């Protein structure tokens, strides 16, 4: 008779390049799934927190947006002047390089078509 295995355990076999002949097996337990609780409005809560009720007043929503945006902007790590000039120089150099490459390809195809058409 077959041995019954628990549904909460998963058998994982990991093989590295040096272990081609011998296999190591590890038994891992499955993480319990968390289902979001339903709120009174019929919306589902995300990550255990109750769902926000949207306000009918558009100014409240606008204020929340501005407040959240300001909070995100304060978390940004802005580059200093030297790093900004380095990135600007790199951008200009790449742009000039690709403009030259595209112009050369365009001139090459133009000459090729002139030879093919015979003008």
pLDDT tens track, the chain, 119 positions: 555 555 567 777 777 676 555 555 556 666 667 665 555 555 555 555 555 666 678 888 899 999 999 999 999 998 999 999 999 999 999 999 999 999 999 999 999 999 999 86
114 found inside a domain:
yes
45 found inside a domain:
no
pTM higher than 0.75 = no
50 found inside a domain:
no
Number of domains composing the chain: 1
Distance from C-alpha of 54 to C-alpha of 59, rounded to nearest angstrom:
12
5 found inside a domain:
no
22 found inside a domain:
no
Range of the domain at 102: 84-119
70 found inside a domain:
no
Are the C-beta atoms of 91 and 85 separated by less than 8 Å? no
19 found inside a domain:
no
């Amino acid at each position: 008779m077959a041995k019954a295995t628990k549904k909460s355990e998963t058998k994982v076999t990991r093989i590295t390049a040096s272990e081609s002949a011998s296999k190591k097996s590890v038994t891992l337990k499955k993480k319990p799934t968390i289902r979001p609780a339903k709120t009174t409005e019929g919306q589902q809560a995300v990550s255990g927190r109750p769902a926000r009720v949207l306000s009918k007043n558009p100014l409240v929503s606008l204020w929340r947006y501005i407040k959240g945006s300001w909070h995100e902007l304060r978390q940004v790590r802005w580059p200093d002047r030297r790093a900004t000039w380095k990135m600007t120089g790199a951008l200009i150099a790449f742009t000039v390089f690709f403009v030259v490459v595209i112009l050369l390809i365009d001139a090459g195809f133009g000459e090729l078509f002139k030879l093919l058409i015979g003008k």
